[in-house]
Amino acid sequence: MPKKTIWYQNYTLEEIEGICQGNMVSHLGIQLTELGEDFLVGTMPVDHRTTQPAGLLHGGASVALAESLGSIAANLCVDPERSVCVGQEINASHLRPVRSGLVTGIAKPLYLGRSSQVWEVSVYDQRHRRVSAVRLTVAVVAVGHGGGKMKVFGG
């Protein structure tokens, strides 16, 4: 029996890498590392691009990682010719500091509806300790009515 997936089609990491080029995702060094049946994983370095003046991972960088993973995953769940998912609301609780290394985000859906989706993104340090808990809500809108096609899909 074939595995059930939430994705609109059977994407591979290689096929969706274009989403990360030429925008905040690549600027922050975010890399997509795993696409599971119902989750997307990515990493981000804790370095000069992502730390606050005190040398700790900036909360905004954690949120940028979470929103990037959640938004990419959300868009993989819809027909790219008809719909695009755009951020509507995000909240984050930062649980512990990180000074160096990589952080890993795991995006999983809490709700996949016709006009909105809700994603939970957990961010972990290299010792597998949760450093941020994030919830992202996206609106699913028609291409041309609030959003364009994702460029990886030919838009």
| Residues catalogued as catalytic | 67
Separation between Cα atoms, residue 140 and residue 64, nearest integer Å: 19
Q: Which residue has the tokens 């998912």?
A: 85
Separation between Cα atoms, residue 58 and residue 118, nearest integer Å: 24
Separation between Cα atoms, residue 114 and residue 100, nearest integer Å: 40
Residue 130: strand pairing partners: 124
Pairing state between β 101-112 and 31-35:
unpaired
C-alpha R_g of the chain: 15
Q: Give the phi and the psi of residue 103 in degrees, each rounded to 5.
A: -115, 150
Separation between Cα atoms, residue 1 and residue 153, nearest integer Å: 29
